[in-house]
């Protein structure tokens, strides 16, 4: 592993222990997430960006990351920062002499040079993200900042993520956030080394992704008659909502924007439940034949896709074909949650399917249904991920599980050798309240303050030999009580920063006190980024 073979790491441990016995330990830079290994020289010094600083791409594999950094830094600093292939000093993008883990990097800041070394472009990008955090928070602005000394403290860092999937889910269905809000979220995620945006695009209340073959999904599925009245989930507000959706061109642009920031977008196309917007356009794919309209009420809808209707499978595969063309993600999320079996239990076609396939009951029918799509995705070199309900009739082969009803489902799936992303609602549902008095955005189903989120450990309760199946951690932003990007940001930050640190920092290096202190500075970054972050108790 990284740690064993990394001589820089060995040097660091030594430096760190020397530094920790010194009487006046230098102040730690406020990094979020905390790096795996950090050392600060006893004699403080700094690197300052000047008119003479160049960005040196020592290894051309990192040209895109170097150009990206140069573009951002030029904009805020007004310095020329030319990207060059050779030369001493400057901000250097090098290939690591040792093989680092995926997304890992080392960073050395001295008075004369800033050296980022990595084994893959993502690592180079994260090295740059750390550089940005070492600079004054104004570096996060999107226009020229005058009168700032662009200085960063000397330090040595060896860093790599604990987990491969450091995610946030945004729900663009219950309320539509739109491209600008998504891009802003991507910016902040990247700044915190998060790499997966799970995009919830279809549900009972709306269909938000253009599918060329079936335009009715938009004409009939992207608009609903009402929304639930704010603070009153049972009464309609009387205003049509929509049509709101993303064209394929908009989606391509957002996917490319995310990719530039090393973020993968995992789309979610819900099935067999949470599909009423689809059924409003194609009622013949339900058990009863409809008619239907997109739901305006929140909650769980009994009408779902009919598992006995043969037409459902080619139809959903047509949709997935277009989805796979838009999203290069290896994982495609197919939902699978909250699919009541009321209709299937009395539907002749569904019951016939159960008999013909020798299935035990409707839960096993759901497993069979999901398996059709797991196989289809595998045949296309993709993998299915679904909510933990996909375990209920036996886990389809090849499927990854996103554990939301606590960690139980994830633990069970890991024990069966399936990949798991932990997103337990009692720690990771960022739409829940955060313990703020008179919070205008409060959703009182539960209270999950920052400090509670931080205590979550995604491998709790899992035997060590199975930790490798826990591929990630994710915060979820359901949008029943999120109206727009500003609300979404209020819910997300700072709690998503805790999720980022859970996913990145080794468990034994995580400390609330260090995180809370770093968050004081991180608030300044969030502010410069224009993020409507919520206050949080940062008492050590």
Among 250, 337, 378, 392, binds ligand ACM (CB under 6 A): 337
Helix (H) or strand (E) holding 63: helix 63-77
Q: Which is nearer to ligand ACM, 30 or 428 (CB)?
A: 428
Q: Which partner from the list Zn ion, ligand ACM, none does 337 bind, CB cut-off 5 to 8 Å by kind?
A: ligand ACM
Exposure b/e, 421-435, CB count within 10 A at least 16 = b = bbbbbbbbbbbbbbb
Rounded to the nearest whole angstrom, what is the least distance from the CB of residue 387 to ligand ACM in the complex? Answer: 4
Check binding of 422 to Zn ion (CB under 5 A): no
Cα–Cα distance between 346 and 388 in angstroms, integer? 25
Q: Which is nearer to ligand ACM, 199 or 387 (CB)?
A: 387
Among positions 303-342, residues that touch Zn ion (CB under 5 A) are: 306, 308
Backbone CA torsion sign across 326, 169, 515, 536:
positive
Q: Which partner from the list Zn ion, ligand ACM, none does 338 bind, CB cut-off 5 to 8 Å by kind?
A: ligand ACM
Closest CA to 7 of 37, 31, 33: 37
Check binding of 350 to Zn ion (CB under 5 A): yes
Q: Which is nearer to ligand ACM, 376 or 404 (CB)?
A: 404
Among positions 87-146, residues that touch ligand ACM (CB under 6 A) are: none
Number of residues near Zn ion (by CB under 5 A): 6
Q: Could you give the C-alpha distances from 199 to 111, 333, 402, 447, 515, in angstroms and in order?
A: 43, 9, 14, 24, 28
The DSSP bridge pattern shows strands 83-84 and 206-207 to be unpaired
Geometric angle at alpha carbon 10, from 9 and 16, rounded to 5°: 85
Q: Which is nearer to ligand ACM, 35 or 273 (CB)?
A: 273
Q: Are 133 and 525 spatial neighbours (Cβ–Cβ below 8 Å)?
A: yes
Catalytic position from the list 37, 198, 274, 418: 274
Residues forming beta bridges with residue 305, ordered by sequence position: 286
262 labelled catalytic: no
460 is written with which tokens? 């709790």
Among positions 268-297, residues that touch Zn ion (CB under 5 A) are: 287
338 labelled catalytic: yes
Rounded to the nearest whole angstrom, what is the least distance from the CB of residue 273 to Zn ion in the complex? Answer: 13
392 is written with which tokens? 């209920």
Q: Which partner from the list ligand ACM, Zn ion, none does 499 bind, CB cut-off 5 to 8 Å by kind?
A: none
Q: Which is nearer to ligand ACM, 68 or 387 (CB)?
A: 387
The answer for residues whose C-beta is within 8 angstroms of residue 52's C-beta and 6 or more apart is: none
Among 338, 378, 442, 484, binds ligand ACM (CB under 6 A): 338
Residues with catalytic roles: 203, 274, 338
Report the interface residues with Zn ion, using CB under 5 A.
287, 306, 308, 347, 349-350
Report the interface residues with ligand ACM, using CB under 6 A.
337-338, 387, 404
């Amino acid at each position: 592993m990284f740690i064993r073979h990394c001589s820089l790491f060995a040097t660091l441990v030594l430096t760190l222990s020397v530094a920790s016995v010194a009487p006046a330990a230098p102040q730690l830079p406020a990094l979020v997430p905390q790096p795996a290994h950090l050392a600060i020289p006893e004699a403080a010094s700094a690197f300052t960006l000047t008119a003479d600083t160049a960005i040196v791409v020592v290894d051309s594999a990192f040209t895109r990351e170097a150009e990206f950094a140069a573009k951002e830094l030029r904009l805020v600093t007004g310095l020329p920062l030319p990207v060059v292939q050779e030369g001493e000093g400057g901000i250097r993008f090098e290939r690591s002499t040792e093989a680092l883990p995926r997304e890992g990097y080392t960073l050395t800041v001295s008075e004369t040079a800033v050296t980022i070394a990595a084994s893959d472009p993502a690592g180079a990008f994260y090295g740059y993200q750390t550089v940005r955090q070492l600079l004054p928070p104004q570096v996060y602005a999107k226009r020229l900042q005058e009168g700032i000394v662009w200085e960063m403290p000397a330090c040595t860092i060896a860093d790599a993520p604990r987990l491969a999937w450091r995610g946030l889910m945004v729900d663009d269905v219950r309320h539509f956030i739109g491209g600008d809000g998504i891009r802003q979220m991507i910016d902040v995620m990247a700044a915190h080394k998060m790499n997966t945006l799970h995009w919830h695009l279809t549900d009972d209340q709306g269909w938000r992704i253009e599918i060329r073959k079936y335009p009715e999904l938009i004409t009939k599925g992207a608009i609903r008659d009402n929304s639930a009245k704010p603070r009153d989930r049972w009464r309609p507000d009387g205003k049509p909502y929509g049509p709101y959706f993303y064209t394929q061109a908009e989606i391509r642009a957002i996917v490319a924007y995310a990719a530039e920031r090393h973020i993968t977008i995992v789309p979610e196309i819900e099935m067999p439940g949470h599909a009423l917007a689809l059924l409003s356009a194609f009622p013949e794919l339900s058990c009863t034949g409809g008619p239907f309209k997109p739901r305006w009420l929140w909650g769980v809808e009994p009408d779902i896709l009919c598992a006995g209707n043969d037409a459902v499978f080619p139809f959903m595969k047509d949709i997935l074909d277009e989805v796979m063309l838009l999203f290069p993600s290896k994982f495609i999320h197919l939902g699978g949650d909250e699919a009541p079996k009321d209709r299937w239990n009395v539907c002749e076609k569904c019951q016939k399917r159960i008999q013909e396939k020798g299935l035990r009951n409707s839960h096993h029918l759901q497993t069979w249904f999901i398996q059709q799509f797991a196989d289809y995705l595998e045949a296309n070199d993709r993998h299915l991920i679904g909510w933990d309900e996909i375990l209920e009739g036996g886990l389809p082969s090849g499927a990854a599980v996103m554990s939301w009803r606590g960690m139980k489902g994830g633990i069970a799936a890991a024990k069966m050798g399936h990949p798991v992303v932990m997103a337990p609602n009692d720690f990771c549902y960022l739409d829940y309240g955060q313990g703020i008095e008179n919070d205008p955005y409060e959703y009182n189903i539960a209270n999950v303050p920052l400090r509670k989120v931080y205590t979550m450990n995604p491998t709790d309760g899992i035997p060590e030999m199975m930790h490798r199946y826990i591929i990630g951690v994710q915060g979820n932003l359901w949008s029943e009580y999120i109206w727009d990007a500003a609300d979404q940001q209020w819910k997300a930050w700072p709690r998503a920063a805790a999720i980022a640190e859970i996913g990145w920092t080794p468990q034994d290096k995580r400390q609330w006190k260090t995180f809370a202190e770093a968050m004081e500075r991180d608030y300044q970054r969030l502010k410069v980024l224009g993020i409507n972050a919520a206050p949080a108790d940062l008492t050590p």
